[in-house]
Structure 1
Amino acid sequence: MNKDKKHKDAQIGMGMSLFRFLKFWRQTQWQVAKDKESLLVDYLAYFLLFGWFFTLLGWLEYLLYQRRITRTPIVHQPVFLLGHWRSGTTYFHYLLSQDPQFACLTLRHASTYPCCLILDKLGWLKKLFDDQVPQKRPMDDVELTPDAAFEEEYALLYTQGSCYLAWLFPAVFQTFFQRFLFFGNTSLAASQWKQQYAKVIKKLNFLYRQKRLLLKNPINTARVKLLLQLYPDAKFIYIKRNPVDVFHSTLRLHRKMCQDSAIQTLTEEQNKAAVMNIYPSLLQRYFDERHLIPANNLFEVRYEDLVHDPLGNLASLYERLQLPGFEQVKSRFEHFVMAHQHYAVESYQSDDELLNTLRQQWHDGFCDWQPDAPSVSSSRAAG
């Protein structure tokens, strides 16, 4: 079994208990595609063999650390990096993480969230996890390491759940997104999410020694109001990209994730419908709520502009958000940009019918990005 295959079998919620997996699978009426039966067996075996182990370590970690986590104050309110999937959020996250004033959740800590503090103390277990991580992300070949900056949404898989369960169980794709992205439009569900999310942030605050958290999570694009209720002085960065490129790249992401992780299948038309529907809903919620952010706490940038002039845009970002130390870390940014300047992304072809559909259904996204702009493809990695 090669390295990528081992990681593939448990890349969504690798520390999940078997009970939790069955709980969510039950909501699909136990559906499984015929060509996914072997993957289901892998999941069941993995969660049966290792889920209890992660659960026990999680209980132990709670007993050892919870009081200290709760008592540790948050000195710096977080910086939230927002934007639809495939808008350049990963590239921007990796770029900003070169500044040592920020702490970024790592792939290792996100994937083993319930017991990540103990895992750091157990060198053999840490090495066992690190050996499972592929060298590149499956959807775009972006470099991947155990210490790569990652999304805290994966940590939420172990609390109340996450939209990303849809990539395990695509038969209820829309249900999971409505439930965990918009909380079924109920105040109770939103309140429960805030409680769980605040616990995640408190633990990360303790884990990373009270440094300012730099958190990239596309789903948070629709949670500005809730985030401000938790962290009223938080800073926000919003990146936007040509909607045509976003559509094609997101569709590719969905295909790849469902191919690698799902125990059910979606048709190509169902995949397209999911991408087509989520984009305007996510962005509209952001457009409705961004006025709540104080002007000096919000920086917006086009992905294409960031790629064209990364240092100039970073200088503007630091000035707008009143972040210290840009000149001291400028050389780090330059080194990162130079190292990734030749990274090529996929180019896509769009027929007139698709372009017209996108311009109609994603009209607000086009207006936000650039009115009447043609599709472009850049020479950097997006994510």
Structure 2
Amino acid sequence: MYFDFDYYFRLLRHVWGLKHWPGRRRLLLRLLVTTPLATLFHSLCFLLDYVLFPRLWTQKVKTPVFIVGHARSGTTLMHRLLAADGERFSYFLYWETLFPSLLQKKVIRWLGQADSRLLGGFIHRTLKAWDDKTFGPFRHIHNMSLWTSEEDQFAMRAAFVTQQWATDLPVMDVLDLFHLDQMPAKRRRWLHHYRELVKRQLLLNGGDRIHLSKNPVMSGWVGSLIEFFPDARIVVMVRDPAECVPSLLKLVEISWKSRGWQKADYGHSLDMLLETSFESFHNPAAQLARHAATPHAFVDYRELTARPRETVHAVYAALGMTVSDTFDNYLQANAEREKSHHSRFEYSLGEYDLSSELLEQRLGPFYDRYGWLRAAGPQPGKPQATEVRADGPRETATGADDAAPSATATET
């Protein structure tokens, strides 16, 4: 099993130097004791997978679908809509990302069955209570649970390649998980391990499905994913940056503050996160322009929330797939629920060193293409919405109100 010793020692040196941080000793204990022991256990199970499950040797990853885009742009909504096509797709549940080995997942599933038959589901009820207590207070921001589909990047936690460190600590300048397209040395190692994880998940789910991935961080991996999975298909979610950019900044800042970090500690990392935000728009578009033969779709967040069924149909068509009758019935039955399922998360541009003018300057072509509201107001003759297309969005005219950001925005 792969383990990124480079990033491990970088973080260890960084934490060792945090003399003023109250959580230093606890995290050092985790890094020096818990992490090595867990890595040894995961590595042993990873090795046993090939002994106990010989089908793993021939398991293929065919035509995977990767959903990318800026965080808070609807990647979760798109992922969970497509995940409902259970006859077609395989994906990671959150609890499954915590255990990289197929053996581990199989044992846990077996324990779940034993709990149901012998204990009447006592263990499941206990875990459900913990799940609600742990994730419940934050589900108005992101609907998270042990039993919901989650980001593939979490599955690489055991390899020490995880965005979790960046939400616990302001270490954007220490661990770079985004720019894989610019990191040839790590690209081969990371994606070889990632493919091994996906193979195990596919085999867990029968071996004959299509892997469905979602991760905003992989917006910086698009070129690498296409290189490593030549038959990959890409879905890029796009949303007004005046809504999704400050939303992400505030979400990460809340995480840092909750762990005792002050603005002086995380200011530089917040600036780097903003730069990565701009690249989350530019890199997928640039990589797909270089790889025009890769089936792909750019999806406007407004289209997905206003017309989820029609948008999913358009995405399938762009990726060369057809919607089954069973899945279409699901989309029809749940269309209104998806339109109305919003949570409230308050943020504003004014909370950060961020202005509408800066967003328009850095992302001007996207404002032109999608017709987002500019600081000067709607532009005469400019489009206000888009259709999904394999070669990028085609612009159509609708009302300007759909594009208008607000200080209190809706998140899905």
TM bucket by the smaller chain?
A: 0.7 to 0.9
Give ranges in structure 1 of 5+ residues lacking alignment.
1-16
Partner of 2:59: 73
Alignment match, 1:174: 173
Number of residues of Structure 1 aligned to a counterpart in Structure 2: 359
Aligned partner (choices 220, 223, 241) of residue 222 of structure 1: 220
Go from structure 1 to structure 2 and tell me whether the alpha carbon gap of 1:69 and 1:81 turns closer, same or farther (over 3 Å shift): farther
Corresponding residue number in structure 1 for 2:360: 359
Q: Which amino acid aligns with 2:357?
A: N
Superposition map of 1:6-45 within 5 A: 23-28=9-14, 30-32=16-18, 37=22, 39-40=23-24, 43=27
Alignment of 1:1-383 (within 5 A): 23-28=9-14, 30-32=16-18, 37=22, 39-40=23-24, 43=27, 54-55=38-39, 57-67=41-51, 68=54, 70-74=56-60, 76-100=62-86, 101-114=88-101, 115-123=104-112, 127=124, 132-133=130-131, 134-136=134-136, 138=138, 140-170=140-170, 172-177=171-176, 180-183=177-180, 185-210=182-207, 211-260=209-258, 264-267=261-264, 269-270=267-268, 272-294=270-292, 297-340=295-338, 341-350=340-349, 354-370=355-371, 372-373=373-374, 375-376=404-405, 381-382=411-412
Percent of matched pairs sharing the same residue? 18
Matched residue type, 2:300: R
- Structure 1 contact 82–237 (Cα < 8 Å) conserved: yes
1:132, CA displacement in angstroms?
Answer: 4.1
- Tell me the distance in 2 between the aligned counterparts of 1:305 and 1:33: 49
Cα separation, partners in 2 of 1:344 and 1:122, compared to 1, 3 Å: closer
More divergent stretch after superposition (343-352 vs 275-284): 343-352
Q: Which moved more, 1:134-143 or 1:90-99?
A: 134-143
Q: CA RMSD in A?
A: 3.5
1:119 aligned partner, one-letter code:
I
1:224-272 CA-partner distances (Å, limit 9, x unpaired): 2211122211111111000100122111221133234x57554474464
- Name whichever of 237-246 and 293-302 sits farther off: 293-302
What is the deviation of 1:57? 4.2
Q: 1:91 to 1:353 in 2, by over 3 A?
A: closer
Secondary structure, aligned partner of 1:319? helix
Amino acid at match of 1:324: T
Larger radius of gyration: 2
Compare relative contact order (CA 8 Å, sep 6+) and give the higher one, 1 or 2.
1
Cα gap change, 1:181 to 1:143, in 2 (>3 Å): closer
Determine the C-alpha separation between the residues in 1 that align with 2:69 and 2:137. 19
Deviation larger for 130-139 or 72-81: 130-139
Match of 1:9 in 2: none
State the TM-score, normalizing by the size of structure 1. 0.79
Alignment CA distance shift 1:274-1:59 (3 Å) = closer
CA distance in 2, matches of 1:379, 1:245: 7
Q: Structure 1 residues 112 and 42, CA, compared in 2 at 3 Å: closer, same or farther?
A: farther
Name the amino acid aligned to 2:45: E
CA contact (8 A) 2:69 2:219 kept: yes
Question: What is the distance in 2 between the residues matched to 1:54 and 1:205?
Answer: 24
Q: Work out the CA distance in 1 between the residues paired with 2:123 and 2:64.
A: 27
Alpha-carbon displacement from aligned partner over 1:299-350 (angstroms, at most 9, x marks no partner): 1110011111111111111222222334321232244443341423335444
List gaps (5 residues or longer) in structure 2.
Answer: 116-121, 375-402
- In structure 2, distance between residues paired with 1:29 and 1:315: 48
Preserved CA contact (<8 Å) 1:33 1:263: no
Residues in 1 aligned to 2:27 and 2:332: alpha-carbon distance in whole angstroms: 42
Instruction: Give me the TM-score of the superposition, normalised by structure 2.
Output: 0.74
State the alpha-carbon separation in 2 of the partners of residues 252 and 368 from structure 1. Answer: 27
CA contact (8 A) 2:72 2:247 kept: yes
Task: Judge conservation of contact 1:25–1:169 (CA < 8 Å) in 2.
Answer: no
**Residue deviations 1:79-100, cap 9 Å, x none?**
1001111111111112221111
* CA contact 2:64–2:211 (8 Å) conserved in 1: yes
